Amino acid sequence: MKFADKPANEEDRLQSLHASGLPESGPSERFDRLTRMAKRIFDVPVAMLNLVDADQLLPHSCIGLEPEKWDRETSLCSHVILQSTPLIVSDLLEDPRFHDAPAITHQGLRFYAGCPVHMPDGFAVGALCISDTRPRLLSEDEVAVLQDLAAIVEDSFAVLTEARLDQLTGLANRRGFDVLASYALAGARRREKPACLCFIDLDGFKIINDTWGHEAGDRALGVMSGLMKQCFREDDVIGRRGGDEFSILFTDSSLSGASRAMEVLQHKVSLYNETSGQPWQLHFSWGMAQYDPLRHSSLRSLLQLADRRMYQMKKSRQQAR
């Protein structure tokens, strides 16, 4: 079987996939309804929604076959994510690319049609596909129907992604951050790369709300979020945990490198305070913890350590006043 190449944007694609939380959530009735619909519309024995992860094909909905994780390199869906149009193979046995694919040798399938499905940021993360045990053709109208069903899948992806974003700041919310940061930590552990987590809490935020109103408080949160986006890299994971608390996972970064990034943020915040003309000012305390896979069994333990260190900084500043 011809193995598919990996996309040039593979790391960003995987980050987008895991930021959605879809691989961790497993099969869903939301998508089972769509694959059942596809099975009936096309009168095929098999309809699936598969996600293409780093090394495996993850069945997110599987009608007609027992769901299991398949090797990515021997999957047809790994070819689908490389193109913008559906992959239609009328007879797998007669196609030199796929004649010995496990879909034929293990499942006895002969026909395959897969349409790429994308996250809202444009990355192709999987395929909505139908299969039959006999060769067949699809008309142009049928291909259009398959694409329409894939568009419905993408609409559902957008809804799920929206649920993991903080509406005020555009950052990941608590749930979104935890999913993406946990995935990033697993990658750091696998590749033996460093990572650091920072916990930020705004100082005096309640005073801003109480004195100038919640609109000013929202403005302060938006400014802080924007400054973090300016200071930190695209590969770093930034989230708003709620209220005036933020968390950042610095990927592939030592404690000294992450600390320098925080110094840059402190400088940006100070500059904003000097030039903004706002009646209120931004101040923040932060705590940092370097990831150690032998000590930190989960993201939660790393967050707790960074949180404690943040409160130590906040307490020392209060005592110094």
pLDDT band for position 306 (cuts 50, 70, 90): very high
The predicted-structure confidence for 27-82, as pLDDT tens digits, reads as follows 778 899 999 999 999 999 999 999 999 999 999 999 998 877 789 999 999 999 99
AA identity, residue 142: E
Mean pLDDT of the chain: 92
What domains appear along the chain, each with residue ranges and CATH number?
10-162 (3.30.450.40), 174-320 (3.30.70.270)
| Helices within 163-191 (DSSP H only) | 174-191
| CB 85 within 8 Å of CB 56 | no
Quote the CA–CA distance of 182 and 173 in Å, as a whole number.
14
Assess whether pLDDT exceeds 90 at residue 273: yes
What pLDDT score does 227 carry?
Answer: 97
- Mean pLDDT, range 276-287, rounded to an integer: 96
Residue-wise DSSP of 132-169: ESS-----HHHHHHHHHHHHHHHHHHHHHHHTTB-TTT
Reading the block at residue 199, the tokens are 């916990």
- Exposure pattern of 209-229 as b/e (b: 16+ CB <10 Å)? beeeeeebbebbbebbbebbe
Pick from 129, 132, 160: nearest CA to 26: 160
Q: Is the pLDDT of residue 257 over 70?
A: yes
Q: Each residue of 144-175: pLDDT tens digit? A: 999 999 999 999 998 888 888 898 998 999 98
pLDDT at 321: 67
What's the pLDDT tens digit per position in 90-112?
Answer: 999 999 999 888 877 778 899 99
Indicate if the pLDDT at residue 311 is higher than 70: yes
How confident is residue 249, by pLDDT bands cut at 50, 70 and 90?
very high
